Amino acid sequence: MTREVLTPAQAAARWLARDDLDQSPQREQFAAWLEESQENRDAWTQADEMWDVFDDADDSDLIAAMARAARKAGPEPAAKPFWSRLVAASIAVAAVSATLFFGAQQGWFDHAAKPTQVAVNEAASLTAVGRADYLTGGGQRSIVDLPDGTRVTLDADSAVDVAFAGGRRDVRLLKGHAFFDVAHDRAHPFAVQAAGREVTALGTQFDVRLMSGVLRVVLAEGSVSVSSAPGGSPTKLSPGQAFSAQAGGEGKVTPANLDEALAWKQGVVEFRDQPLSEAVGVLNRYTRAQIVIKDPKVAALRITGVFKTGDIKRFGRSVSQVLPVRMVARDADTYELVSMRR
């Protein structure tokens, strides 16, 4: 029997319809197919980018139905001849992609994430310093409305302690990352304490991140001052500026790209020429499953791009298109990025 020869686009449609690319032997077969030619890699990138629109349109019943219909045209049921199933999948991908392009142009999709409050320490007090009042776990984000009208967006694996008393509005960022949209109240200062420093504001919007002993404050709107607590000469920020400091070290003010700094609120993160190990460290905050890198040469590779959080398989597929690496499943919750030469 003569074996049908597939075009790169047709083969990409077949791989796209599978849901077992992280399993052996499909994982190795897929990696080998990518290595065969640049045409294969380009076809996969184009197909994967189209499907990304599906994943970003969870709230659209229309798009969800189209996605289900296209996926049903994939390589099942097994009783059908392979070539017929492949053609069906290819046609579905092509037809739906045109509709999705039009929909994206018309603004059908709301890309903003809808995080919800996930944990409240009922035993804690909102009027005294103590344990965390609001906290999130790995892969979770939370929106918290404080009694004064201030809204706090907590990133994954973060915690804050709220103490509103004595004419003050004090919040301690115990760990992680938070964005503060502060209700204006000139008579009652709003202050966020983290890493031995205090960020004071009236009515403004700012981002505070505490990671590995490094504090970073990014001002989006209004004005804030950052000072050592207690005392110390305050550093005032203007919108679009960032303050960074190691614990106990000197602070530094630099320009900030607000789109990049605040992308996490929309469920994405952006990296600009950063080590792959650093990017993986950020992405691991959003999922139970973790990516590991054991090869120092792989860890030192640089990555630039915008990636959706909470989906490490997609990250693995995407990064393999631009770097000489592939992602290998080590167990149910561990994936390793390894050199393509291995």
For 39-94, the pLDDT digits (tens) are 888 888 776 665 554 454 444 444 444 444 444 444 433 344 443 444 444 444 44
Beta bridge partner(s), residue 268: 308
Q: Whose CA is closest to 16, among 1, 2, 4, 6?
A: 6
Arch. (CATH architecture) of 134-260: Sandwich (2.60)
For 163-197, the pLDDT digits (tens) are 998 888 999 999 999 999 998 888 888 999 999 89
Task: Name the more confident of 262 and 118.
Answer: 262
H or E element in which residue 270 lies = strand 268-275
User: Span 251-273, mean pLDDT?
Assistant: 88
The two three-digit tokens of residue 116, written as one number? 């919800």
Q: Phi and psi for 66 in degrees, rounded to 5? A: -65, -40
What DSSP string describes 71-130? HHTSS-STTS-HHHHHHHHHHHHHHHHHHHHHHHHTT------------B-TTS-TTSS-
Q: What letter does residue 290 receive in the DSSP assignment?
A: E
What is the dotted CATH code of the domain comprising 267-339? 3.55.50.30
Domain residue limits, the chain: 8-105, 134-260, 267-339
Q: Does residue 318 carry a pLDDT above 60?
A: yes
Q: How far is the C-alpha of 68 from the C-alpha of 70, rounded, in Å?
A: 5
pTM assigned to the model: 0.56
pLDDT band (50, 70, 90) for residue 26: confident
The two three-digit tokens of residue 280, written as one number? 């993986």
For 140-162, the pLDDT digits (tens) are 888 898 988 899 999 989 999 99
Phi-psi region of 267 (alpha: psi -120 to 50; beta: other; left: phi over 0): left
- What's the one-letter identity of residue 145? D
